[in-house]
């Protein structure tokens, strides 16, 4: 009988470093410390590169855990924000919700109410327009913008008003000594257009002072998408945006073997010992299977395949299964 309650599930990211099976907690802690140690006032972009299913979200969760722990005694704690771009259907909605999420961090903080209001207004305006860096606003929802500005504006006047809002916002961020740490995950799951929108947001729209972005994605998928949209070299384009890249640590073969055997023991815990040779399975993994196991998701697929046939071969010798 399979012990399904204890079956390993790599599709659910770990929430805490206590659940780390891959010895990545030190990497996450060092990443958090590097972020907190960055003292320059310019916006700074960090990339966390890893394949699908390699554990990027788990590392982000641990990084947030360490960010909170390492900054708990700071007088001026950073504003830590998790933003999920895949929840929105187009660029305008993405931009609007991004600023709404930032502004929500200041709800109930009377001394920072102005900052929250400015973030909300900028999000409302940009969410009603199509912003092109270096060009500005190309189209508007005139009636709604009229409610914000109190009058109808030409494109050039609208650009000036938006720039004024952003300049005021920047001044308020500096005045309050606000430090934003913004984590964006699952970028590689977006459409090519939406991938470009995220990087445009980071690089040209929300490039605020004292702001650090930690962007997690599959490097190959994103560079291909950027090439398709930009009609340019995706790697070169990405290098202009990501100032410090980190590659997710590779899972060692030893660690893969340990987890594999642990999961097999759960699957076959009710199989008689004379019918299940753990050492033989470990040798098989080391000899031929491990090459194909590049992530915990790969390992789970293998274990699920083995587990699904466990009952049907219950009476056979599982060394040769």
Q: Per-residue pLDDT tens for 195-207?
A: 999 999 999 999 9
Mean pLDDT of 270-283: 66
pLDDT at 160: 67
Task: Name the nearest CA neighbour of 23 among 250, 286, 247.
Answer: 250
Residues 190, 22: Cα–Cα separation, whole Å: 27
CA distance 123 to 92: 9
Mean pLDDT of the chain: 81
Per-residue confidence (pLDDT) for residue 275, from 0 to 100: 63
For residue 47, how far is the Cα from the chain centroid? 9
pTM: 0.83
- What is the 3 state secondary structure string of the chain? CCCHHHCCCCCCCCCCHHHCCCCCHHHHHHHHHHHHHCCCCCCEEEEEECCCCCCHHHHHHHHHHHHHHHCCCCCCCCEEEEECHHHCCCHHHHHHHHHHHHHHCCCCCHHHHHHHHHHHHHHHHHHCEEEECCCEEEEECHHHHHHHHCCCCCHHHHHHHHHHHHHHHHHHHHHCCCCEEEEECCHHHCCHHHHHHHHHHHHHHCCCCCEEEEEEECHHHHHHHHHHHHCCCHHHHHHHHCCEEEECCCCCHHHHHHHHHHHHHHHCCCCCHHHCCHHHHHHHHHHHHHHHCCCHHHHHHHHHHHHHCCCCCCCCCCCCC
What pLDDT was estimated at residue 136?
46
Q: Measured in Å, how far apart are the chain's first and last C-alpha atoms?
A: 17
pLDDT of residue 137 exceeding 80, the answer is no
Question: Band of the pLDDT at 83, cuts 50, 70, 90?
Answer: very high
According to the model, what pLDDT value does residue 139 have? 47
Mean pLDDT check: name the lowest of 52-56, 125-129, 157-161.
Answer: 157-161
Bridge-based pairing of strands 136-140 and 244-247 is unpaired
Q: What is the pLDDT of residues 27-51, one digit of tens each?
A: 999 999 999 999 999 999 999 999 9
The mean pLDDT of 145-170, rounded to a whole number, is 66
Rama region for 65: left / alpha / beta (φ>0; ψ in -120 to 50; rest): alpha
pLDDT band at 164 (very low <50, low <70, confident <90, very high): confident
Dihedral of CA 78/81/82/86: which sign?
A: negative
Q: Which two tokens stand for residue 212?
A: 């650090």
Predicted confidence at residue 284, as pLDDT, reads 66
Q: What is the mean pLDDT of residues 317-321?
A: 49
What pLDDT sits at residue 10? 63
Is residue 190 pLDDT above 60, yes or no?
yes
pLDDT digits (tens, 9 = 90+) for 210-258: 999 999 999 999 999 998 877 778 899 899 999 999 999 988 878 877 8
Q: Which of 31-40, 141-150, 261-270 has the lowest mean pLDDT?
A: 141-150
- 298 vs 112 pLDDT, higher one: 112
């Amino acid at each position: 009988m399979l012990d399904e309650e204890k079956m390993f599930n790599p599709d659910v990211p770990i929430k805490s470093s206590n659940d780390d099976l891959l010895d990545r907690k030190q990497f996450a802690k060092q990443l958090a410390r590097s972020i907190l140690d960055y003292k320059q006032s310019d916006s700074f972009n960090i990339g966390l590169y890893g394949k699908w299913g390699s554990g990027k979200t788990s590392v982000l969760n641990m990084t947030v855990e360490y960010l909170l722990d390492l900054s708990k005694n700071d007088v001026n704690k950073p504003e830590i924000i998790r933003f999920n771009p895949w929840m929105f259907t187009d660029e305008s909605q993405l931009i609007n919700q991004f600023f709404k999420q930032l502004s929500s961090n200041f709800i109930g903080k009377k001394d920072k109410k102005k900052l929250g209001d400015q973030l909300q207004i900028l999000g409302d305006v940009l969410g009603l327009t199509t912003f092109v860096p270096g060009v500005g606003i190309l189209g508007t929802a005139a009636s709604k913008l009229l409610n914000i500005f109190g009058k109808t504006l030409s494109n050039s006047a609208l650009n000036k008003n938006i720039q004024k809002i952003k300049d005021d916002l920047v001044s308020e961020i500096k005045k309050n000594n606000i430090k934003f740490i913004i984590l964006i995950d699952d970028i590689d799951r977006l459409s090519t257009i939406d991938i470009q929108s995220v990087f445009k947001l980071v690089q040209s729209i929300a490039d605020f002072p004292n702001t650090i972005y930690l962007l997690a994605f599959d490097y190959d998928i994103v560079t291909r998408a950027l090439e398709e949209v930009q009609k340019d070299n995706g790697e070169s384009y990405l290098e202009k945006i990501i100032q410090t890249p980190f590659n997710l640590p590779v899972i060692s073969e030893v660690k893969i073997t340990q987890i594999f055997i642990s999961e097999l023991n759960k699957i076959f815990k009710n199989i008689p010992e004379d019918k299940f040779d753990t050492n033989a399975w470990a040798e098989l993994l080391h000899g031929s299977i491990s090459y194909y196991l590049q992530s915990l998701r790969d390992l789970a697929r293998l274990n699920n395949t083995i587990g699904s046939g466990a009952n049907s071969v219950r009476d056979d010798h599982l060394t040769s299964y």
